[in-house]
Amino acid sequence: MTSVAVLRAGPLLTVQDLGRPGLAHLGVPPSGAADRAALELGNALVGNAPGAAGLEATLVGPTLRFDGGALVAVTGADAGARLDERPLPPGVARVGELLELGPCRGGVRAYVSIRGGVAAESVLGSRSHDQLTGLGPPPLRDGDVLPLGLVTDCHEPLQHEPARRDELVTDCYLRVVPGPRDDWFAPAALEALTRTTWRVSPASNRIGTRLEGPPLERTRQDELLSEGVVTGAIQVPPGGRPILLGPDHPTTGGYPVLAVVVADDLSRAGQLAPGATVQFSIVTSVPIGV
């Protein structure tokens, strides 16, 4: 069976697939790739099923060595990937070849997809590492060797790479739906959320992206009874500095949620780098079926 050796893992390299949806009532976060669109594109480029596991690199990409031939693709933030000096994606790695990624630009996470998928241990139906709970395979370290899955489970690779996503830029707009707890805030808070250019704090991770800017004014200071929250929720602790929940967020929270980023914008939210700016705009016509 082909395997891949991690020569240099970089600051944070984890295995990610599409996570563990459906277990939130047990306290299990959804987890999965922070930029789901990038993982799915990478899988298409190598002919994997959309939910096959790949590698999620954070800030700086890894150096990997292939001990057998493999079709690889690198998506997400531009990490200047080179396969034995040849630019990627996608490319065919031969035995002993090195895949080298550098610092991420135009985002904070790059994804390495390999035909067959990474066959790390599956926990509760997913190979994703969950930063909050530690479920799934631990973050990868220098010297780790990863087995790959069977290529017999694959389909024809996507033949041409689609145009590069233009939304992978340093500054980003995200659409939000107000609520569910916008009534815990001064009416001006929602306006302040959309008027402010927020800066992404370095104290951000897969659990949440902390946003720096003027505090959002709450009109109720008491504690909210814990309630279920979704990825993309903008939670506001008593200090008024919002936190945008990422895929490894706790399943329930006691801070009021002012607004929630729409599902189609979550992949872009997963690329917010420390120091980048983000702005929010409100969508109101949401078909919620009630």
Partner 1 sequence: MRVRPAGDRAVLFEVADNAEAVHLARALRARGDLVDVVPGHRTVLAVWEGGDAPRLDGVSVESAPAPAEARLVEIPVRYDGPDLADVARLAGVSPEEVAARHAAGVYTVAFLGFAPGFAYLLGGDELLHVPRLASPRERVPAGSVAVAGPYSAVYPRESPGGWRLLGRSDLVLFDPQRTEPALLAPGDRVRFVAA
Question: Residues 126 to 155: which contact partner 1 by CB under 8 A?
Answer: 132-133, 135
CB closer to partner 1, 6 vs 233: 233
Give the shortest CB-73-to-partner 1 separation in angstroms: 24
Angle (nearest 5°) at CA 203 between 178 and 215: 45
By the rule CB under 8 A, 226 interacts with partner 1: yes
Beta strand residue intervals within 187-255, DSSP E = 198-200, 208-212, 227-228, 233-235, 243-245, 252-253
Which tokens sit at 72? 């690889």
Give the shortest CB-228-to-partner 1 separation in angstroms: 3
Question: Residues 10 to 69: which contact partner 1 by CB under 8 A?
Answer: 21-28, 30
CB closer to partner 1, 77 vs 236: 236
Question: Residues 246 to 285: which contact partner 1 by CB under 8 A?
Answer: 250-253, 257, 260-263, 283
Strands 172-178 and 277-282: parallel
In order, the DSSP letters of 7-24 are EE--SEEEEESS--TT-G
By the rule CB under 8 A, 239 interacts with partner 1: no
What's the full length of the chain, in residues?
Answer: 290
Give the shortest CB-275-to-partner 1 separation in angstroms: 26
**Could you give the CA distance from residue 192 to residue 212 in angstroms, rounded to a whole number?**
13
Indicate which single residue of 166, 221, 222, 289 sits in contact with partner 1 (rule: CB under 8 A). Answer: 289
Q: Residue 49, class by beta-carbon neighbours within 10 Å (0-12 exposed, 13-18 middle, 19+ buried)? A: middle
The interface region with partner 1, picked from 71-79, 97-105, 141-149, 222-230 by CB under 8 A, is 222-230
Question: How far apart, in Å, do the first and last CA atoms of the chain sit?
Answer: 51
**Could you give the CA distance from residue 238 to residue 227 in angstroms, rounded to a whole number?**
17
Indicate which single residue of 32, 42, 54, 232 sits in contact with partner 1 (rule: CB under 8 A). Answer: 232
The interface region with partner 1, picked from 43-51, 71-79, 85-93, 223-231 by CB under 8 A, is 223-231
Give the shortest CB-17-to-partner 1 separation in angstroms: 16
Q: What is the torsion angle, in degrees rounded to the nearest 10, for the CA atoms of residue 61, residue 63, residue 66 and residue 72?
A: 20
Indicate which single residue of 82, 213, 230, 274 sits in contact with partner 1 (rule: CB under 8 A). Answer: 230
Classified as helix, coil or strand, 6 is strand
- On whether the CB atoms of residues 107 and 78 are closer than 8 A, the answer is yes
By the rule CB under 8 A, 163 interacts with partner 1: no
Indicate which single residue of 12, 39, 79, 123 sits in contact with partner 1 (rule: CB under 8 A). Answer: 123
Give the shortest CB-99-to-partner 1 separation in angstroms: 31
Indicate which single residue of 124, 151, 158, 207 sits in contact with partner 1 (rule: CB under 8 A). Answer: 124
Q: Which residue has the tokens 């967020």?
A: 249
- Interface residues with partner 1 (CB under 8 A) are 21-28, 30, 123-124, 132-133, 135, 177-181, 225-230, 232-233, 250-253, 257, 260-263, 283, 286-290
